[in-house]
Amino acid sequence: MKRIAVIGGGITGITTAYTLAKRGLDVTVYEKHRYAAMETSFANGGQLSASNAEVWNNWQTITKGMKWMFRRDAPLLVNPQPSWHKLSWFAEFIAAIPQYEKNTTETARLAIAARDHLFAWAQEEGIDFDLKKQGILHIYRDKAGFDHAANVSKLLAAGGLERRAVTPDEMRSIEPTLAGSYYGGFFTESDSTGDIHKFTSGLAEAIQRLGVKTCYGHSVTELSADETHAWVTSHDGEEQTRDTFDGVVICAGVGSRDLAAKLGDRVNIYPVKGYSITVELDDEASRGAAPTVSLLDDATKIVTSRLGDDRFRVAGTAEFSGYNRDIRDDRIRPLTRWVEQCFPGVSTRRVVPWAGLRPMLPNMMPRVGPGRLPTVFYNTGHGHLGWTLSAITAEMVADAVDS
């Protein structure tokens, strides 16, 4: 029986461990936190959104980033302080612009393929994660945004995704609580939402039932491999241990770049910070005024999910500021203001802020499959679609490991 180490206990690490264990492999997961899903998989926007498969590699993104560089509340904020890592990442980002259409279509295809696996796992393992299969509504305030979305819809359709244009009146019938005036929207009925932390935690319990060894609270301090084995050295705060495996899968989010370098691979992941607020719907009026259909506001780069009856998740923005994990008030306030403008009946008296670092590769596509050595594999770099793509990339990397 192959012994495989999985580095990382977020959504990609836990789904990878699950697929490997289901194939009969002996799996050990290393996670530096005491529990699974405590970083980027803790409080994201909650969308399982094939409709958000558009990659960011276009000149429009570059123009907006430059225009917004000195606006502290900008939807896309780039810290102007240079670093070699950031400069190399943006150079490769620009170089990937010619692949924009192909990569958008491929991402949509992957997102659709992931759905059946994820839903089947949740049903098989009895995981309650506040799943809502009520679609996602993209909203646009002007013709330019709507027209761009129409072009994106063609690329998504090439990947197998159906979404339809809707008028302002149709938007109100889909989500009656939405306030404001809009040019139009696009509705994807097949998309859904849920709580990523609940899902990952539930699957983390399932892998233990399947015999996976979970080393929580273990920081990986050294990693090496050759043609036949991989070695993982970890520290649990008290003692250091070293173990030998037949292979290792790197699923360490923004930490994957440094681990890959130890193994002789270049995985140019940059951390792109995203923020969220969880609005606690404490009163009946707020519960009635909050949407049940998930939204994506392209102009502000804000997404929403209704999590159960009493929580409303609002997330978004992108911040290029290195590995800084600070929760900045000037980045949280626009999310709260957005709620107050679009859903004025919702009380924002009790709001829980959060920030996480999305692991993004320059071409916006995840790195899935073998590394330079036959004992090293990667499932990382999913960017803003980690949960959406996780089930299919876990299956893909399991195919590679178990071949």
Task: Please provide the DSSP assignment of 43-94 as one string.
Answer: S---EE-GGG---S-SHHHHHHHHHTTT-TT-SEEE-----HHHHHHHHHHH
> Which residue type occupies 216?
Y
Q: Which domain holds residue 52?
A: 3-402
| Consecutive H or E run containing 291 | none
Per-residue pLDDT tens over the stretch 174-208: 999 999 999 999 999 999 999 999 999 999 999 99
5 pairs with which residues across the strands? 28, 248
Measure the CA angle with vertex 88, ends 258 and 68; round to 5°: 110
Give me the percent of the chain exceeding a pLDDT of 70. Answer: 100
* H, E, C per residue of 177-245: CCCCCCCEEEEECCCEECCHHHHHHHHHHHHHHCCCEEEECCEEEEEEECCCCEEEEEECCCCEEEEEE
Kindly report the backbone phi and psi dihedral angles of residue 156, in degrees, each rounded to the nearest multiple of 5, phi listed first. Answer: -65, -40
Give Cα 170 to chain centroid, integer Å.
Answer: 29
- Category of 308 on φ-ψ map: left (φ > 0), alpha (ψ -120 to 50) or beta: left
Residue 290 DSSP symbol = S
pLDDT, tens only, 229-276: 999 999 999 999 999 999 999 999 999 999 999 999 999 999 999 999
What gap in Å lies between CA 286 and CA 269, rounded to an integer? 40
Mean pLDDT of the chain: 96
Nearest to 216, CA basis, from 194, 192, 244, 235: 235
User: Looking at the predicted structure, is the pLDDT value of residue 69 above 90?
Assistant: no
| Mode of pairing for the β-strands spanning 164-166 and 367-370 | unpaired
Look at residue 78 in the predicted model and tell me its pLDDT. Answer: 87
In single-letter form, the type of residue at position 383 comes to: G
* Model confidence, pTM: 0.97
Give strand pairing partners of 274: 356
Domains of the chain: total? 1
Mean pLDDT for the stretch of residues 113-131? 98
Mean pLDDT over residues 38-62, rounded?
A: 96
Question: Between residues 81 and 326, which one has the greater pLDDT?
Answer: 326
Give the pairing type, strands 3-7 and 164-166.
unpaired
Say yes or no to pLDDT of 14 above 90.
yes
Q: How far apart are CA 346 and CA 363, in angstroms?
A: 38
Helix axes 100-125, 386-401, angle to 10 degrees: 80
Residue 54: CATH number of its domain: 3.50.50.60
For residue 79, what pLDDT is reported?
84
Q: What CA–CA distance (Å, rounded) separates 233 from 236? A: 10
Is residue 70's pLDDT more than 80?
no
Average pLDDT, integer, range 116-124: 98
